[in-house]
Amino acid sequence: MASTTSPPPPDVLPGREELAHREHFATPEQQRETAMAGMWIFLATEIMMFGALFMAYTVYRLGHPLAFAEGSKDMEIVLGSINTAILITSSFTMALAALAAQEGNTRLLGWLLILTILIGLAFLGIKFTEYYNHYQDHKAPGVWFESNLSDRGGLEMFYVFYFIMTGLHAIHMIIGIGILFVLWLMTLFGRFSRVYHSPVIVCGLYWGFVDIVWVFLFAIFYLPGLHLHG
- Note the residues at the interface with another protein (CB under 8 A): 29, 32-33, 36-37, 40-41, 43-44, 47-48, 51-52, 55, 58-59, 62, 77, 81, 84-85, 88-89, 91-92, 94-96, 99, 102, 201, 204-205, 208-209, 211-212, 215-216, 218-220, 222-227, 229-230
Residues 6+ apart with CB under 8 A from 149: 67, 70, 155
Residue closer to another protein (CB basis): 24 or 227? 227
Write the CB contacts of 130 (distance below 8 Å, at least 6 apart in sequence): 76, 79
Q: How far is the CB of 46 from another protein (least distance, A)?
A: 9
Comparison of 59 and 118: residue with beta carbon closer to another protein: 59
Nearer to another protein, 1 or 78 (CB): 78
Cα 161 to Cα 137: distance, rounded to the nearest angstrom: 17
CB 179 to another protein: min, Å? 15
What minimum distance in Å lies between the beta carbon of 31 and another protein? 11
Q: What are phi and psi of 115, to 5 degrees?
A: -60, -45
Distance CA 44, CA 214 (A): 16
C-alpha–C-alpha distance, residues 155 and 145, integer Å: 10
**What's the distance, Cα to Cα, between the start and end of the chain in Å?**
65
Closer CB to another protein, residue 139 or residue 197? 197
Q: How far is the CB of 138 from another protein (least distance, A)?
A: 26
